[in-house]
């Protein structure tokens, strides 16, 4: 049973990471399959092997963060009678996904996937995203690459997959030359997809991710290797800047557009891309002040916002969206201070746990896996400042799959080293 569960976890984890930005329904189909198999495995162990449970105190904290977030979101659905809509009506089951992730985590803690499937998965995912972005931008002539999805989550997730590929590339325990080659191409592919998507939020987060990587190298590698690895990271940063400044790249145009949007907004014109986003945040703050405790709820937030728009208090462009373009603002306005605390816990608990293991220094493999978890959380916190990533179907599924997968791999490695989080 253990061997079969680990085999299925390997295949599903690799498939999800490599296909998330490539196939239209990978964000939902693969997690549903993983949840079904995980539920069967958990039931089997509960009835036939009750002594095999390996959850410790750290796992309980991790699970509680996901469960509380899901329960409060489902409670919000119950009190309002409305489910989240999401882009293209794809988000109706979003509140259930943290529960699904919790089931998968329990099963994967019993039979975790192997680290190689993480590295191959993020490498293929980032590389394919770069290929798609290049094809759409240079061959099809589209102004922003997105593979038929919102360019913002596409660019953010591609950048994150490329950053995780960079962790594998600089990790001394990854020794296979073929994997290192693919990881190197994946880093370039992820950066290229981010640049060609025209996503500004990722460019703000990327320097923070690079600083974390540099700190990891400075603590992990001996002096003879440090200079070369740091130099490689600097070369990659230079490549990113070169991509950003190459003729026809959307970066300069998007930056100039952002400055012009701010000037227009200061002059009273809120109809631009950035102006509408600022209007959404302003409306969100008014919604928060009106109901800070429990918030407005699913559906009711949009109704109140549109009522204020009809009164002329905000620009009508904000009514086109089903969210407020910020996870913090949207969650606070929708589910109040209680909901905001659950979101902070969904970020803070995994970050705290990953950070502890990253600093603990068990071995290079464990620290690399822990760093991956840190990068995922930090990346989503940064992305979520200007985009509701956790109300996007690929954003939420990507976040949950990555933190659960990285945590299961990390705990498997820690258990193999004879340590515990109890």
**CA 144, chain centre distance (Å):** 20
pLDDT of residue 253: 59
In 3D, which of 296, 394, 386, 281 has the Cα closest to residue 336? 296
- Which residues lie below 8 Å from residue 327, measured CB to CB, with a gap of 6+? 343, 384, 385, 387, 388, 389, 390, 391
- Report the distance separating Cα 407 and Cα 333, nearest Å: 30
Which phi and psi angles does 299 have, rounded to 5°?
A: 80, -45
* Rounded mean pLDDT, 40-55: 78
Question: 179-189: per-residue pLDDT in tens?
Answer: 989 998 999 89
Percent of the chain residues past pLDDT 90, beyond the cut: 60
pLDDT of residue 193: 93
Residue of higher predicted confidence among 64 and 273: 64
Judged against a pLDDT cut of 60, whether residue 224 lies above it is answered with no
Kindly report the length of the chain: 422
| Least confident piece of the model among 171-175, 274-278, 320-324 | 171-175
pLDDT of residue 5: 84
Q: How confident is the model at residue 421 (pLDDT cuts 50, 70, 90)?
A: very low
Residue of higher predicted confidence among 55 and 375: 375
Residue of higher predicted confidence among 49 and 176: 176
pLDDT of residue 422: 43
pLDDT of residue 366: 92
Q: Which two tokens stand for residue 156?
A: 């953010």
* Rounded mean pLDDT, 100-106: 96
Judged against a pLDDT cut of 90, whether residue 246 lies above it is answered with no
Judged against a pLDDT cut of 60, whether residue 218 lies above it is answered with yes
Question: 320-371: per-residue pLDDT in tens?
Answer: 888 899 999 999 999 999 999 999 999 999 999 999 999 986 688 999 999 9
166-169 contacts at long range (C-beta below 8 A, 24 or more positions apart): 166/213, 166/233, 166/236, 167/213, 167/216, 167/368, 167/371, 167/372, 167/375, 168/118, 168/119, 168/122, 168/123, 168/368, 169/232
pLDDT of residue 285: 95
DSSP 197-219: HT-HHHHHHHHHHHHHHHHHHHH
| Least confident piece of the model among 111-115, 289-293, 329-333 | 111-115
Judged against a pLDDT cut of 70, whether residue 236 lies above it is answered with no
CB-based contact 213:166 (threshold 8 Å): yes
| Least confident piece of the model among 41-45, 155-159, 373-377 | 41-45
* Rounded mean pLDDT, 192-204: 84
CA 14, 110, 378, 63 torsion: positive or negative? positive
pLDDT of residue 223: 46
* Rounded mean pLDDT, 191-218: 85
**CA 322, chain centre distance (Å):** 20
Residue of higher predicted confidence among 243 and 309: 309
- Report the distance separating Cα 188 and Cα 192, nearest Å: 6
pLDDT of residue 54: 72
DSSP 328-391: HHHHHHHHHHHHHHHHHHHHHHHHHHHHHHHHH-S-HHHHHHHHHHHHHHHHHHHHTTTS-GGG
C-alpha to C-alpha distances, 66 to 9, 100, 324, 378, nearest whole angstrom: 20, 10, 22, 17
Q: Which two tokens stand for residue 56?
A: 């410790």
Question: 125-141: per-residue pLDDT in tens?
Answer: 999 999 999 999 989 98
pLDDT of residue 6: 87
**CA 78, chain centre distance (Å):** 27
Q: How confident is the model at residue 250 (pLDDT cuts 50, 70, 90)?
A: low
Q: How confident is the model at residue 45 (pLDDT cuts 50, 70, 90)?
A: confident
* Rounded mean pLDDT, 385-404: 95
pLDDT of residue 262: 65
Q: How confident is the model at residue 171 (pLDDT cuts 50, 70, 90)?
A: confident
Judged against a pLDDT cut of 70, whether residue 220 lies above it is answered with no
Judged against a pLDDT cut of 60, whether residue 278 lies above it is answered with yes
Residue of higher predicted confidence among 213 and 239: 213
């Amino acid at each position: 049973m253990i061997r079969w569960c680990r085999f299925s976890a390997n295949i599903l984890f690799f498939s999800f990471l490599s296909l998330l930005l490539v196939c239209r329904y990978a964000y939902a189909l693969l997690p549903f399959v993983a949840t079904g198999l995980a539920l069967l495995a958990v039931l089997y162990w509960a009835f036939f092997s009750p002594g095999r449970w390996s959850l410790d105190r750290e796992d309980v904290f991790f699970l509680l963060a996901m469960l509380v977030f899901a329960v409060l979101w489902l409670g919000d659905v119950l009190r309002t009678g409305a489910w989240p809509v999401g882009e293209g009506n794809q988000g109706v089951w979003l509140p259930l996904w943290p529960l699904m992730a919790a089931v998968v985590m329990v099963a994967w803690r019993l039979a975790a996937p192997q680290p190689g499937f993480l590295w191959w998965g993020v490498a293929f995912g980032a590389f394919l995203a770069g290929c798609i972005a290049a094809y759409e931008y240079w061959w099809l002539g589209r102004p922003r690459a997105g593979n038929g999805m919102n360019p913002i989550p596409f660019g953010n997730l591609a950048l994150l997959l490329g950053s995780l590929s960079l962790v594998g590339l600089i990790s001394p325990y990854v020794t296979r030359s073929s994997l290192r080659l693919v990881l190197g191409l994946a880093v370039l592919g992820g950066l290229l997809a981010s640049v060609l998507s025209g996503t500004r939020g990722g460019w703000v987060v990327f320097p923070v991710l690079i600083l974390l990587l540099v700190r990891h190298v400075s603590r992990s590698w001996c002096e003879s290797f440090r200079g070369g690895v740091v130099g490689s990271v600097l070369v990659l940063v230079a490549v990113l800047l070169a991509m950003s400044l190459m003729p026809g790249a959307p970066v300069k145009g998007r930056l100039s557009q952002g400055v012009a949007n701010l000037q227009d907004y200061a002059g009273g014109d809120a109809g631009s891309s950035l102006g509408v986003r600022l209007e959404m945040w302003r409306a969100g703050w008014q919604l928060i002040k009106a109901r800070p405790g429990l918030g407005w709820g699913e559906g009711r937030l949009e109704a109140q916002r549109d009522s204020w728009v009809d009164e002329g208090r905000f620009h009508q462009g904000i009514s086109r969206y089903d969210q407020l373009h910020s996870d913090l603002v949207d969650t606070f306005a929708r589910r109040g201070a209680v909901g905001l605390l659950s979101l902070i816990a969904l970020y803070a608990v995994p970050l705290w746990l990953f950070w502890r293991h990253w600093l603990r220094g068990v071995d290079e493999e464990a620290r690399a896996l822990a760093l991956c978890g840190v990068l995922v959380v930090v990346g989503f916190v940064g992305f979520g400042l200007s985009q509701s990533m956790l109300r996007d179907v690929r954003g939420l599924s990507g976040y949950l799959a990555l933190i659960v997968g990285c945590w299961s791999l990390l705990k498997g490695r820690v258990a193999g080293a004879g340590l515990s989080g109890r």
